[in-house]
Chain A
């Protein structure tokens, strides 16, 4: 059989354009000029006729392998429930189920509120707070653990889990894909003890030590 990609000597340009257009003609999505081009070219090009037949078989094979029809109603009901749930929350546009960027943004807000409250408390205790530095554990901490939440994890459940394990969120990846965690008590042992529990939790896709943080 001839090499179907090899242009015939008569009109290489037409052959090339026809050969390129064949799949779109077969799929029924070609523009009319391309259809005309292929129809004009086929009678005098055996390799393109062969290619057309091959692509038609391929097209039929793909179409015959069609997957079963799915009833859209159950999925629609689930999505509507998700929309309803989101509407009951303070941010109506936020999804109820995990959207890392959105709930990490919420985490940052919560963390900011917490830091602001801590700052006010320190201010209220007089001059003692003035001697704290950014390296002290209460103000800025380095993440000991890196956590990637699973798809089913919502923010409330995450907060509850981290509170149980005595972990705080101290940073987040710029793309919102992961969280940096530090032990609330500043003890390395707390992070080490929490790691296997995080890994075993269904709402955690991945938890790894960062190699930083308290030792």
Chain B
């Protein structure tokens, strides 16, 4: 669906939600829950926790739909709420809910079925799991939002409540770090601090 059409529809459903129309809210849920689940599964080790975060997110959408000001797309607004709910869950939750290399290795990549008969894809995922696990949390979230959800730089700034420049800097550092740790993808050591400092 055209992104503008989708946002127009989302906005109409959100306004209807603010009036207490459950059918519209259910449509919003069905549209955004799968996307949020996929995103959250990348950061939490338990699927049930991911669903709990999604439902906390959508609960806030239900109760605060009237507070949407239209400064961003509805999708961005909802993703921003999910991001904050995830941060809270990771901060307050039990250790197994936290982002760590083992959860990424065990769940997000290795445990998931890849395209059949593609050893290179499996190898790539293995390298990626190690490379992504080495990234600081904010850099990893930035990369996932950009590459996995396809969010724009401006939308990522809105989701993570930071300036656009910060998003660019985080992505830059993530790229440099991944090139140092992912030679299997064709990366090469880009030099330690010198390469990063050029682009701040």
Contact = CB atoms under 8 A, between A and B. Distances in A.
Nearest to B153: A24
B96 interface: no
Contacts of B109: 65
Contacts of A29: 146, 150-153
Given A28-B150, A53-B186, A151-B52, A76 B26 contact: yes
A201 interface: no
Most chain B C-beta atoms within 10 Å of own C-beta, residue among A4, A6, A67, A70: A67
A95 interface: yes
Nearest to A57: B185
B29 A65 contact: no
Given A72-B30, A75-B33, A76-B29, A3 B191 contact: yes
A183 B125 CA distance: 55
Given A64-B125, A76-B30, A82-B55, A5 B114 contact: no
Given A24-B153, A72-B30, A79-B55, A65 B190 contact: no
Given A57-B124, A70-B33, A63 B55 contact: no
Interface string A76-99: 101110110000000001010000
Contacts of B7: none
Nearest to A205: B92
Nearest to B50: A70
Given A5-B198, A70-B37, A83-B62, A62 B147 contact: yes
Contacts of B178: 58
A124 interface: no
B182 interface: yes
A68 B37 CA distance: 9
Contacts of A4: 179, 190
A61 B124 contact: yes
Interface in B117-163: 121, 124-125, 127-128, 143-144, 146-148, 150-153
A132 interface: no
Contact of A67 (B30, B92, B112): B112
Contact of B125 (A61, A80, A151): A61
B128 A3 contact: no
Contact of A75 (B51, B62, B148, B187): B51
Interface residues on A, range: 35 or more
A16 B172 CA distance: 11
Contacts of B68: none
A58 B55 contact: no
Contact of B146 (A3, A5, A24, A65): A24
Contacts of B54: 75
A1 interface: yes
Nearest to A26: B147
Nearest to B55: A79
A23 B124 CA distance: 18
A27 interface: yes
Contacts of B196: 5
Given A20-B199, A58-B128, A69-B38, 10 more contacts: A28-B150, A57-B185, A61-B127, A67-B37, A67-B108, A72-B34, A72-B37, A76-B26, A78-B55, A151-B52
Nearest first, the 8 A-B pairs at minimum CB distance are A72-B33, A67-B41, A29-B152, A70-B37, A5-B195, A61-B128, A61-B124, A57-B185
